[in-house]
Amino acid sequence: MTESLRSATALGRRPSPRRVAGWVVRAPVSVLLLASAGGLATRNAWFRGLESVVAGPVVRFCTSSVVMVRPATDTVFLGLYTPRVYGLTITPECTSALPIAALLALAGAVALPGRFRLPRIGVALLVAAGGMFAVNQLRIVMIAWAAHTWGAAGYGWTHATVGSLLILVGIAAAMVAFFVICGGGTPSAPTPPRTPKGR
């Protein structure tokens, strides 16, 4: 009887095929997300160029000025052909690439244990990252408008104070949205081990 109970306990501790299949799917997804996070955090020049291209038309609309974008230098020039010309360069410290990279790393970390379903993690990541990108675009446009309207003084307080607060609020909102969307519905909890039965 002792041997049979020991054998049943050992069988009860084996992971179910469904759980093993879940790990087979989740592990590559987690590794891919973590690798993407590292790549975006360390090599984001292309992303900053994209941000400048997207911001250009919005800056043109909000400032009613002639705008030129140079993606190669991540710079948006506004107020061309006027005495007040500004060039806003999106630096590594001012890009939304770093917060989005953090969201990618977070998604990779929560994807592996299996508490949340992968489709929900994907939707949550898209919403949170898209929101973070939009918040930084709003920050860029706000700085451009303030510089165009009030000059260097407007640039100074929107860049250093208001812009920084806006980014902090955006990061907090993105994190909340991520976990709210991930936690919606029934979580994909790991399958509990079978209870051994004695004879």
List 88's β-bridge partners, or say none.
Answer: 76
In a domain, 190, yes or no: no
In a domain, 28, yes or no: no
In a domain, 141, yes or no: yes
Return d(Cα 186, Cα 189) in angstroms, integer.
9
Answer whether 0.85 is exceeded by the pTM.
no
List 67's β-bridge partners, or say none.
Answer: 78
Range of the domain at 169: 34-183
In a domain, 76, yes or no: yes
In a domain, 139, yes or no: yes
In a domain, 20, yes or no: no
Please write down the long-range contacts of 46-49, taking CB distance under 8 Å and 24 or more positions apart. 47/95, 47/97, 48/74, 48/90, 48/91, 48/92, 48/95, 48/97, 49/74
pLDDT interval class at 10 (50, 70, 90): very low
In a domain, 13, yes or no: no
In a domain, 164, yes or no: yes
> pLDDT tens digits for 33-61?
999 999 999 999 999 999 999 999 999 99
Domains of the chain: total: 1
